[in-house]
Each structure stands twice: as C-alpha cells, then as structure tokens.
Chain A
Amino acid sequence: QVQLQQSGPGLVKPSETLSLTCAISGDSVSSNSAGWNWIRQSPSRGLEWLGRTYYTSKWYIEYADSVRSRTTITPDTSKNQFSLQLNSVTPEDTAVYYCAREVLYSGPNRVDSWGQGALVTVSS
C-alpha cells in the first residue's frame, strides 16, 4: 500500500518560492509503472494539475502551461521522494497542494493515491 507524506511550509510571502516535498513509501519514485504528480485545489480554480515526473529508461518531467515558467518538479531517488518548487508566488497560488501517484501503462492513466494535502497560504 503506497503512502505519500507531504511536508513544507504553510505560509509563503508574495514573490518568494513555494517548496513542498512528497516522501514515498510502498513504491519507488523510479518505478517504471508510476508517475508522480502535483495537483492543487482552491475555491477559485478547483482541482488543477500542475505537473508530474516519471521514469521510463530516463526521467521525464511535464508541466501545465499555466505554471510552466515558474515550476520545477524534481525526483530524488536517494530519499525516494519528489518535490515541487513554485517561484514568484502570488495570493492566487494559495491552495491545498497534493502530491499523488499515477498508475501508468495499465490501461488509461489514473491517479490512485494521494498525499494528505498541504494548505499553502501566500501572504505577507
């Protein structure tokens, strides 16, 4: 049973960088059959997919166009975790952020496991 444990600050100042980490147990960030996603949720934007990383012979990282220019998702094989960095945040980035596992190559993809969620507030 995979478990995803999120960590990171809950308050970030405008123009600074939001950083979150998702520690994986029960699976591997290097798995050939899983993708590791970041999704956020806010009242104004609903559920919004931000990006993912996955490994299939090499690492792939994909981002939503809406955040591409200021987002970095990084896998860390030594700690079996992956991270999200979102630069130049504004109050619009206030949301609950989730990390999530996506099942790959077993029919159409689906997100089957989620972290506990982390409310990140952007405010001075």
Chain B
Amino acid sequence: DIQMTQSPPSLSASVGDRVTITCRSSQTMNNFLNWYQQKPGEAPKLLIYTASRLQSGVPSRFSASGSGTDFSLTITSLQPEDSARYYCQQSFSKPYTFGQGTTLEIK
C-alpha cells in the first residue's frame, strides 16, 4: 500500500496569512493526488484533484502543486471558515490511502 505522510500535524495561523501543508507518498504516483477539507461533524469535501486542479466552487485562495512523491496545498489570505482538517489522498493504486490529516486553526 502507498503510505501518505502529511506535515505538519497541526498549525495555527491568523486571518489573512498564507499556509502550506505538505504531503509525501511512499512511492511515485505521478499526479494522482487529491486534497480534501473536513470540518467537524461533516464529510470530507474535495478541494483539489489531479494534484493541482481546483474543484468547481472552491475559492481560488486554495492552490496545490507537486508531482512524483511530493505535494503541497497552499491557502492564501486565510479566512475564519478555513479552520478545518485537511487530508491528502492518492488515487494511483488501490487501496486508496489518505494522509493522517493536518488540523488548521485560525487564531
């Protein structure tokens, strides 16, 4: 199975800040990488697919990049509603696997 490792496990930032979350896979997987946002009591929501494509309806302050084994999600101009847990997920091979998540707190 492909192992997905996210960092940091948690971070705290202020409204208007820029933050970056990284995701590393245990083997190369081209750009078969998705990012999800999950708020308490809700299902995950797709933000980014194919490593860098913004899902319809997602604000443009979310962006992502990467290929191979190293990927990142960047959120610019943080808003209070961005407080959530963020997960990367690989769809390169089954079983699909997720990172352990990064909790973003807005101060």
Residues of A participating in the B interface, judged by any CB pair closer than 8 Å: 37, 46-49, 62, 64-66, 98, 100, 102, 107-112, 114-117
A-B contact pairs, 19 of them (CB 8 A): A46-B98, A46-B101, A47-B101, A49-B97, A49-B98, A64-B95, A98-B44, A100-B43, A102-B91, A108-B31, A108-B32, A108-B33, A108-B49, A109-B91, A110-B34, A111-B34, A111-B44, A112-B46, A117-B42
Residues of B participating in the A interface, judged by any CB pair closer than 8 Å: 30-34, 42-46, 49-50, 53, 55, 87, 89, 91-92, 94-98, 100-101
Known: A107-B50, A108-B50, A112-B55. A49 touches B44 (CB 8 A): no
Known: A108-B32, A108-B50. A47 touches B94 (CB 8 A): no
Known: A108-B49, A110-B50, A114-B43. A47 touches B95 (CB 8 A): no
